[in-house]
Amino acid sequence: MLQGMIFPKIENRILVGVLSFVAIMVLLGWAAINEGGRMAAFEQTFHARSIEQGAALFTSNCSTCHGSDGLGGAKGPALNNPQLFGYDFYPEVTKEIGALMTEKADLQTEASRPATTPERLAEIDARLAEIDARIEELDAPRRQALQAAIDRGYNPQRPSRLQNVGWAGTTESFVLTTLIHGRPVSNNYWSGGGMVAWSQTAGGPLRMDQLEDLTAYVMNWQRDWTLEDLFAVRQFAIEPVDPAPLRAQIEQLQASGGVIPEPVGTAVRDILVQLESVTGDPARGDALYHGTGGARSFNGTTLGCSTCHLAEGVAVGPQTGGTYSRVLNERMNDPALAGYTPEQYLVESIVLPNNYLVPGFQGLMIANFGQNISVQDLADLLAYLKTQQ
């Protein structure tokens, strides 16, 4: 049987061959018809796996600065953040205020023209007053609702990070570009400098496909944002401050004979001497510590110590509750700290945080507080910490 030709009759060979050929064509056609669905399904799966890969990369490379939950931390802003995705919680208000602002600008231009008659000027002034009142009327409830976020640097009038930095592309391309070349910024904004470049092209450690995975992961935080999401953000992006009004304030202060506060610096002994002549206010210290009520240090920095030092429990740094007791009862017994006073210990911990570490913690604290707080700020903080028995 094995020696006979299969399909010994030529007509059978032709028939089976033709049928097989037709079957191949039908199958290819059938497969081609289904390709759309097949490719879409594969794309979905591949995107999901890309997010998984991105999640793993984020955990090992990004979470120390941006937080495991992406809500931001001492060294990096939140990415799990409606602001990054440009979500406006009050689009109607923004729209109306925007229209009013345009009208206001037009009226002001008109008022500045020499041809404008005094009657018209009076009309314009009346309308401008109306506009300001209306803007305040619209903005006040929004401010009130978002106060908790505003306290941490959120600006409800400019809810989109992309708009604030003048980015014309998509959020996705913004994230990817930032990953590729990092974000070199001044130490005055973020301690330890900005974000390093992550792509191999720009001298970083990651390949392009890994950056794409990371981008897919960050973009996967996009959802229907709620106010809870906004309030969960620990750290917003820091926008540079317009120096003009600050300069005006300084000049005003100098003119009235006031003293311009200076940063305390990092010379612990000198600071301790200066502190002797200053009285701390624990309430202001509390506000500075938690960044509440818009409290800022002498140069306008929101300190937000409580981002890492939670009231209870351990996040990045030791908990706030019981700080002073622990300093007195535990830290002062450390032989390495022999001769320290509790005050010296606290001051040094704030201005030179990496000189020593509480066992079990990593040196993640920003080292630029010496530049951002005055003696008064420091005294207030110490007064507050001393209440944490």
Partner 1 sequence: MSVLPFPSFLDDVKEKGLKRAVFEVVDESVERLTAGMNIQDIREALRGEAPSRKPNPRLQPHADGFWLHMRPSYFHSDMTGLYPTFRLGWLSTYFVFFETITGILLMVWYTPSPEIAYSNMINMLTNVPLGQLMRDLHRLGAEAMVLIVALHMVRTWVTGSYKRPRQFTWFTGLILLVITGFLSFTGYLLPWDQLALWAVTIGASMIEATPPPVVGENLNLLIRGGPEIGANGLLRFYLLHVLALPALLFVFTGVHYYKVIVHGHSLPPQKENIGEDTAKRVPLDKRVYFIPDVLTSELLWVAVTTLILVVLCIWFYDAPLEHHADPQVTPLGTTAPWYFLWIQGALKLGDKVFWGLIFPGALLGVMAVWPYIDVTASRRFAHRRFALTLILLLISFVTILSYMGLPEFGVVTAADTAIIHEMTYPPAHNHMGKLLPVPYDQLVPGMYTTSEFSDEEITLADFNQEIETIMAPVALGSRVQSIEANLLDELQNQDYLVVTNLNFAPVPGDAPELRAAMEEFAAMVASHDKELVNAWGGVIITQNQADLKRIDVILSWDTVEVENGRPMLDADGNPVLVRDAEGNVVRSQNIQHIFVHQDGGYFSN
Binding residues for partner 1 (CB under 8 A): 1-7, 9-11, 13-14, 16-18, 20-21, 23-24, 27-28, 31-32, 35, 38-39, 41-49, 51-53, 55-56, 59-60, 63-64, 68-69, 207-210, 217, 220-221, 223, 313-315, 360, 362
The nearer residue to partner 1, 23 or 246, going by C-beta atoms, is 23
Q: Which of 217, 220, 223 is nearest to 55 (CA)?
A: 217
Rounded least distance, CB 19 to partner 1, Å: 8
Gap between the terminal Cα atoms of the chain = 98
Rounded least distance, CB 52 to partner 1, Å: 4
The nearer residue to partner 1, 114 or 313, going by C-beta atoms, is 313
C-alpha to C-alpha distance for 146 and 264, rounded to whole angstroms: 33
The nearer residue to partner 1, 43 or 262, going by C-beta atoms, is 43
The nearer residue to partner 1, 39 or 248, going by C-beta atoms, is 39
Q: Which of 214, 357, 371, 373 is nearest to 298 (CA)?
A: 373
The phi-psi region of residue 197 (left if phi > 0; otherwise alpha if psi is between -120 and 50; otherwise beta) is: beta
293: Cβ–Cβ under 8 A, 6 or more apart, which residues?
A: 151, 287
Rounded least distance, CB 368 to partner 1, Å: 24
Rounded least distance, CB 27 to partner 1, Å: 5
DSSP output for 26-63: HHHHHHHHHHHHHHHHHHHHHHHHHHHHHHHHHHHHTH
Rounded least distance, CB 81 to partner 1, Å: 13
Check: CB of residue 275 under 8 Å from CB of residue 344.
no
C-alpha to C-alpha distance for 232 and 187, rounded to whole angstroms: 25
The nearer residue to partner 1, 32 or 99, going by C-beta atoms, is 32
C-alpha to C-alpha distance for 41 and 10, rounded to whole angstroms: 45
Backbone phi, psi, residue 73, to 5°: -160, -165
Rounded least distance, CB 55 to partner 1, Å: 4
Check: CB of residue 332 under 8 Å from CB of residue 345.
yes
The nearer residue to partner 1, 14 or 311, going by C-beta atoms, is 14
Rounded least distance, CB 330 to partner 1, Å: 15
Q: What angle do CA 179, 185, 187 make, to 5 degrees?
A: 130
Token digits of residue 208: 């392009």
Rounded least distance, CB 153 to partner 1, Å: 23
The nearer residue to partner 1, 47 or 158, going by C-beta atoms, is 47
The nearer residue to partner 1, 229 or 380, going by C-beta atoms, is 229
